[in-house]
Amino acid sequence: MKKIIITLTAAALLSGCSVKIPFINEKPEEKAEQNPQLVERNEQTKENYGSNQSNEELFALEAAHFNSIKEVNGVKEIVNADNVLALVNKEFALPGTYIPEDLVKPNVQFSFGEQDIEKSYLRKEAAVALEKMFAAAENSNIYLFAVSGYRSYNRQVAILNNEIERVGKDQAMQAVAIPGKSEHQTGLAMDISSESVQYLLTDNFGETKEGKWLKENAHHFGFILRYPKDKEGITGYQFEPWHFRYVGEKNAQIMYKNNWTLEEFFKEVRKI
């Protein structure tokens, strides 16, 4: 079997938009047949990550996909912000001026309808993957709604200030990222919900059939559940069953298989 070198083809966190929408999608009642798209992806995963694959081969990552950091006023800023594997968290921040150059609006259903607004955008690679994921879900009679994607630095400032006013600083900091430290600014994260929870961003989403489907299948399309339950001490954020981050298919499959967060992934991979 050929050696696998992790590569990428290109280069938190509330949305503040948990709203109901006026239209209701009618769903077919018949039982979904097994999704051939997912069957094919499962077989590909087995082929790529078979038992004969050594950890040394599997966990090699090109240096360009590690954060390149410079300190600005005591903040560790990510220089290579276009890196699809950029590790954005409470330790590492994006520059306040960073705006992805390849933002596009994915052709999926949104909780706020057809409005063309900032949070409906993602970076192109992530947007294409999101479209494939939503289509595969629909083939299994799972109907997903995008709630909040790209978010600018200034928008994050407003969201954090509003949350501090509402619940106080300590509680707000557990749920809303400091401006510059939100994954939404990368253009690689999307908050996802469903009609079954009134399109809200809520822990209850994780117990729905839609939330369960995403948790078990998002990695086939390059997305990870970024803030899982019982990993709060690692990610620094509370459980968010709605927040999915694009990292590329091979990387997502490795993280899913090993039950790793993005932080844990970077502790395991070696730089080449």
Angle ∠(166,205,159) on CA atoms, nearest 5: 30
User: Tokens for 214?
Assistant: 């995403």
Q: List the catalytic residue out of 163, 240, 249, 264.
A: 240
Instruction: Return d(Cα 267, Cα 260) in angstroms, integer.
Output: 10
Residue 34 burial by Cβ neighbours in a 10 Å radius (0-12, 13-18, 19+) = exposed
Which residues sit opposite 59 in a β-bridge?
A: none
Spatial CA neighbour of 7 closest among 57, 60, 54: 60
**CA dihedral (214, 154, 199, 22) positive or negative:** negative
32, 138, 143, 144 from 27: Cα distances, Å: 11, 10, 8, 12
Q: Produce one character per residue of 42-73: b if its CB has 16 or more CB atoms within 10 Å, e if not.
A: eeebeebbeeeeeeeebbbbeeebbbebeeee
Q: Does the annotation mark 264 as catalytic?
A: no
Would you call 167 helix, strand, or coil by DSSP?
helix
Residues designated catalytic: 240
